[in-house]
Amino acid sequence: MIQPSLQAVQEILWRHWSGSLSTEEGGRRQWWAALEVIQNDLWDLLGEAGVWLAAPLPALYEPNLLQGLQGWVWMAEPWSYWSSELNLLPGQCTAEANHWCSLNLQPEDGHDSFLILVTHRVQLAVALRNMAGQHQLLVCFERAVVSQAVQLLEQRLLQESPLHGLGLRDALGRLDTVTPTDNLGSERRFWSALACHLAAMPPSLTVVAAPVASTSPMGSETMEVDRTSTELELLEALSHGIRTPLATIRVLSRFLLRRSDLGEDVQQQLAQIDTECTEQIDRFGLIFHAAELQRQPQVQRLLARTDLAKLVEQQHGRWQQQLERFGLQLQLELEQPLPEIMSDLMLLEPMLAGVVEHFGHGLLPGTTLRVILTQAGGKLRLQLRGDGQQTRADPEESHLGAVLTWKPETGHLHLSRSAIRQLFNSLGGRMAERGDQQLTMFFPLA
């Protein structure tokens, strides 16, 4: 009997699909957004047991979700080798732990991505295919189509590795029948959440040469505006382009951290990779928002009730880790209780981390940075204070446009003071600097 290929599975999924085409970047943005929705927005609908099948790389990575699922992943041979022989990726199915199992891709399988997820409440398939340089995303909740694809994969497993095939058959047999109502509710929720995720993603930008302006004074002014706009667009595009591979590295490091048999030193190194990636993703996210704000200063952010005291307490460990690089200590002084403020939590969190790091960079080793949060009339006042008598000698700065400041002596790249103030204003707050030893931020009460 001929072993079914993964390309045949793709053909089943795409048989009646007629979605629109997009660029490679657009298709992959949709793919990653769909995976985020499945793992974060549909978590409570998926239930505590199920199976997932994917290629050519693992698609799921949230530990809480994976805990109750059994998975089978077809990967290119080097990845499978690392998984099974070098134990760098979770690759064995054991009686003690339900790790996902890695299997080898065959030449006829192709390299298009897919994920099939079956729980007692949801049957779902997501796929991404390349069609002559253009990409297309498929999301399918049709039980008949998903069932046909799963049956073909079960047949593939039974021929490729009978033990895995029987494991999949047994896992599917333990699942209850998915009702049409469950799947319909999940589909509605999925598309709503996907639209929100895609709307929140930074836009993809194509930078083109500005048209040549005339030599008149008015033409020179127009040329300068065009040049500035192009520089900001380029900065936005670079910020997004840098964050994308960092996010992939962070995903893979979190996969590895799921292993229980890694040495403590390896776990620490992976945790450091995760931390570094997160910091740089947040840093370039702020750069993107600052550039966007320069190009469209009239755009107003949607603000919501935010517990600033809780946010500061949650970030204490991360900030302390940042400051330890400069030989500093962190001390929190929070007035209790404190009312909520109006802000944008998704942007406020990395914004404060960046301000704490930048402020601490100017303090001498051995200094304690005090973070003081109190109420001041109709606002909350967040102060950063250094308890030392002197600050670090600040190297000469070079401004890179209106958004970035560069210190050639140290290689430190950060947002300019004016860009930071603009970001805080967009969050409903304002900043006041009082020398090198104190920085004060005010936030409006909800």
- Choosing from 295, 330, 357, the residue where a domain stops is 295
DSSP string, 332-395: EEE-SS---EEE-HHHHHHHHHHHHHHHHHTBPTTPEEEEEEEEETTEEEEEEEE-SS-BPPPP
Q: Which amino acid is at 270?
A: L
CATH at 379? 3.30.565.10
Report yes or no: 161 and 103 within 8 Å, Cβ to Cβ.
yes
Q: Are residues 64 and 182 in the same domain?
A: yes
Report yes or no: 72 and 157 within 8 Å, Cβ to Cβ.
yes
Report yes or no: 354 and 415 within 8 Å, Cβ to Cβ.
yes
- Choosing from 244, 268, 295, the residue where a domain stops is 295
pTM for the model:
0.52
CA distance 400 to 228: 11
CATH at 76? 3.30.870
Please state the separation of Cα 260 from the chain's center in Å.
24
At 330, list the tokens: 């962190």
Q: Are residues 178 and 273 in the same domain?
A: no
Handedness of CA 169, 172, 176, 177 (dihedral sign): negative
Cα distance between the two ends of the chain: 67
Least confidently predicted of 161-175, 287-301, 343-357: 287-301
Q: What is the predicted pLDDT for the residue at 251? A: 75
Q: What is the predicted pLDDT for the residue at 226? A: 59
Span 208-215, average pLDDT: 38
* Residue 209 belongs to a domain: no
pLDDT digits (tens, 9 = 90+) for 340-354: 998 887 788 888 888
CA distance 222 to 209: 14
Comparing 204 with 15, the larger pLDDT belongs to: 15
At 110, list the tokens: 């192709």
Q: What is the predicted pLDDT for the residue at 95? A: 29
Q: Are residues 287 and 351 in the same domain?
A: no
> Is the pLDDT at 144 greater than 60, yes or no?
yes
CATH at 285? 1.10.287
Comparing 302 with 335, the larger pLDDT belongs to: 335
* Residue 276 belongs to a domain: yes
* Residue 63 belongs to a domain: yes
Q: Are residues 147 and 236 in the same domain?
A: no
> 96 phi and psi, to 5 degrees?
-85, -30
Report the side by side order of strands in the sheet with 412-415: 398-400, 404-407, 412-415
CA distance 48 to 401: 51
Span 9-32, average pLDDT: 82
Which residue's structure tokens are 């090198």? 436
* Residue 207 belongs to a domain: no
Q: Are residues 16 and 143 in the same domain?
A: yes
Q: What is the predicted pLDDT for the residue at 382? A: 92
Q: Are residues 182 and 35 in the same domain?
A: yes
For residue 168, name the pLDDT band (cuts at 50, 70, 90).
very high
Q: Which amino acid is at 172?
A: L
Mean pLDDT for all residues in the chain: 78
Residue 331: strand pairing partners: 370
For residue 48, name the pLDDT band (cuts at 50, 70, 90).
low
Q: Are residues 278 and 194 in the same domain?
A: no
Q: What is the predicted pLDDT for the residue at 115? A: 95
Q: What is the predicted pLDDT for the residue at 279? A: 83
Those residues whose C-beta lies under 8 Å from the C-beta of residue 403, and which sit 6 or more positions away, are 232, 235, 287, 290, 291, 294, 415, 416, 419
How many domains is the chain built from? 3
* Residue 236 belongs to a domain: yes
Q: How many CA atoms lie within 13 A of 389 on its CB side?
A: 0
For residue 420, name the pLDDT band (cuts at 50, 70, 90).
confident
DSSP 8-state secondary structure symbol assigned to residue 38 = I
195 in helix, strand or coil? helix
| Burial bucket for residue 85 (CB in 10 Å: 0-12, 13-18, 19+) | exposed
Percent of the chain's residues with pLDDT above 70 = 77
| Inter-CA distances, 24 with 27, 128, 137, 379, 402, Å | 5, 10, 10, 46, 31
Q: Are residues 291 and 310 in the same domain?
A: no
Q: What is the predicted pLDDT for the residue at 381? A: 92
Residue 207: strand pairing partners: none
CA distance 377 to 80: 60
Torsional class of 285: left (φ above 0), alpha (ψ -120 to 50), beta (otherwise) = alpha
Those residues whose C-beta lies under 8 Å from the C-beta of residue 145, and which sit 6 or more positions away, are 12, 13, 15, 16, 125
At 308, list the tokens: 């600033």
Q: Are residues 193 and 49 in the same domain?
A: yes
Q: What is the predicted pLDDT for the residue at 245? A: 75
Q: Are residues 50 and 171 in the same domain?
A: yes
Which residue's structure tokens are 């450091």? 272
CA distance 28 to 30: 5
Q: What is the predicted pLDDT for the residue at 309? A: 92
Q: Are residues 163 and 180 in the same domain?
A: yes
Rounded to the nearest 10 degrees, the angle between the axes of helix 180-200 and helix 24-36 is 130
Torsional class of 284: left (φ above 0), alpha (ψ -120 to 50), beta (otherwise) = alpha
* Residue 282 belongs to a domain: yes
DSSP 8-state secondary structure symbol assigned to residue 115 = E
pLDDT digits (tens, 9 = 90+) for 217-268: 545 455 455 556 666 767 766 776 677 678 778 877 877 887 778 888 888 8
* Residue 212 belongs to a domain: no
At 366, list the tokens: 């051995």
Q: What is the predicted pLDDT for the residue at 388? A: 64
Give the residue numbers spanning the domain of 272. 217-295
- Choosing from 278, 295, 312, the residue where a domain stops is 295
Please name the residue ranges forming H helices in 101-216: 143-160, 162-173, 180-200
pLDDT digits (tens, 9 = 90+) for 67-109: 788 999 998 764 444 344 333 333 333 323 345 788 888 888 9
Q: Are residues 430 and 386 in the same domain?
A: yes
pLDDT digits (tens, 9 = 90+) for 269-291: 988 888 888 888 888 888 888 88
Peptide bond into 245 cis (omega under 30): no
